[in-house]
Amino acid sequence: MSNLLQNTSLLNWDVLQGRNTSSAPSWELEPPVPVPVPVPVIVNPWDVLLCVTGTLMSCENAVVIALIAYTPTLRAPMFVLIGSLAFADLLAGLGLIFNFIVTYIIDSGFVTLLSAGLLITAFSASVLNILAITVNRYLSLYNALTYHTEGTVTFTYVTLVLMWVMSTALGSLPVLGWNCLEDESTCSICPPVNKNNAAALAVSFLLIFALILQLYLQICKIAFRHAQQIAVQRQFMTTSHSSSTTKGVSTLTTILGTFAFCWIPLAMYSLVADSRTPVIYTYATALPAICHSIINPMIYAFRNPEILRSLRIACCWCMPYSFTMRPRTPSDV
């Protein structure tokens, strides 16, 4: 009996010892689960600069829209066009902010196309609004007697509708298939826009610039002809008319020079480059074109005496008598 108990105890001891030596706890056999290490997001300083520029652009043009919307006297066709230009530049600024969010936060091809379409729509509308303002200035001089009629107002609103329809159509091209998401070799300098789309936009811009240049040359001719007629009627040209004409020509030169300096480098670079070229050149040519939307309110809005008066009233709630009596010149328009 004692031998049986001894053998049984030895057997139990061997079994227990075998369990302890041959099998280990399951938690010791499982390999350790790797802890994912967060990958730091490298933010391009150029993208930060574009986002800051878009924020400044949005704030500045929002002020212009608010002034025109809340001032009952700013309802002439020219102010409607200036408001439309400010709205387009406001959309461009919001598009730059949205593009920054899409680049570093949202990873979706469709959202990327929407961001590109918004930027194309906004900047196309901005350029087309500048063309419409130029046409309006030309008509105000060429048809001075019939300018302040209902026909001019109707023409202005029809022009606005056509401009925004064209801009929206251009902006919808990336979403409709004119993109390079499936074939990166067809990308332009601004992915996901493909090279054909970028070339079409660049050629369209150059044609619009040529038309604006031609219209401003006609405006200068009309202004000088009016000055000569006044000089013949009065047998001399007064100092005020001479300085007014000179100031108007200098203003037109500033407008054309700024427009060409900001947009032509990007348009020409879009025709000769693609996504394989260094991205630094893309940022260097795109930044002046984007900054043109910051300059637009200074050229077309804040130089106008009515808008400037509304701004001073809104900021200071005061309007000096000398400011209200300042004479208007053609360059104010």
Structure tokens at 332: 């104010």
pLDDT at 315: 83
pLDDT at 20 over 50: no
Show Cβ contacts of residue 227 under 8 Å, excluding neighbours closer than 6 positions: 237, 241, 242, 245
Angle at which helix 150-176 crosses helix 77-104, to 10 degrees, equals 20
pLDDT at 313: 86
Structure tokens at 284: 């260097």
pTM, two decimal places = 0.81
User: Once rounded to an integer, what is the mean pLDDT over residues 285-311?
Assistant: 93
Which of 11-20, 46-55, 143-152, 226-235 comes out lowest in average pLDDT?
A: 11-20
pLDDT averaged over every residue in the chain? 82
Specify whether the CB–CB gap between 190 and 282 falls below 8 A: yes
Closest CA to 126 of 257, 220, 263: 263
Q: Which residue has the tokens 């046409």?
A: 135
pLDDT at 328 over 60: no
pLDDT at 97: 96
Which of 57-61, 65-69, 151-155, 314-318 comes out lowest in average pLDDT?
A: 314-318
pLDDT confidence bin for 232, thresholds 50/70/90: low
* pLDDT tens column, 105-146: 887 889 999 999 999 999 999 999 999 999 999 988 888 777
Residues 190 and 279: their CA atoms lie apart, in Å, by: 9
Concatenated DSSP letters for 182-219? S-GGGB-SSTTBBHHHHHHHHHHHHHHHHHHHHHHHHH
Ramachandran class of 177: left when φ > 0, alpha when ψ lies in -120 to 50, beta otherwise:
left
Residues 174 and 197: their CA atoms lie apart, in Å, by: 8
**Three-class SS of residue 317?**
coil
Cis peptide leading into residue 192 (ω within 30°) = yes
Which of 27-31, 37-41, 84-88, 304-308 comes out lowest in average pLDDT?
A: 27-31
Residues 223 and 241: their CA atoms lie apart, in Å, by: 10
Specify whether the CB–CB gap between 165 and 108 falls below 8 A: no
Residues 258 and 69: their CA atoms lie apart, in Å, by: 27
pLDDT at 266: 95
pLDDT at 244: 60
Residues 137 and 135: their CA atoms lie apart, in Å, by: 5
Structure tokens at 276: 């394989």
Residues 64 and 57: their CA atoms lie apart, in Å, by: 11
Structure tokens at 226: 């009016």
User: Once rounded to an integer, what is the mean pLDDT over residues 75-97?
Assistant: 95
pLDDT at 11 over 50: no
Q: Which residue has the tokens 């709205």?
A: 87
pLDDT at 258 over 50: yes
3-state secondary structure 3-52: HHHHHHHHHHHHHHHHHHHHCCCHHHHCCCCCCCCCCCCCCCHHHHHHHH
Residues 133 and 127: their CA atoms lie apart, in Å, by: 10
pLDDT confidence bin for 32, thresholds 50/70/90: low
Report how far apart the first and last C-alpha atoms of the chain are (Å, whole number). 122
pLDDT confidence bin for 318, thresholds 50/70/90: low
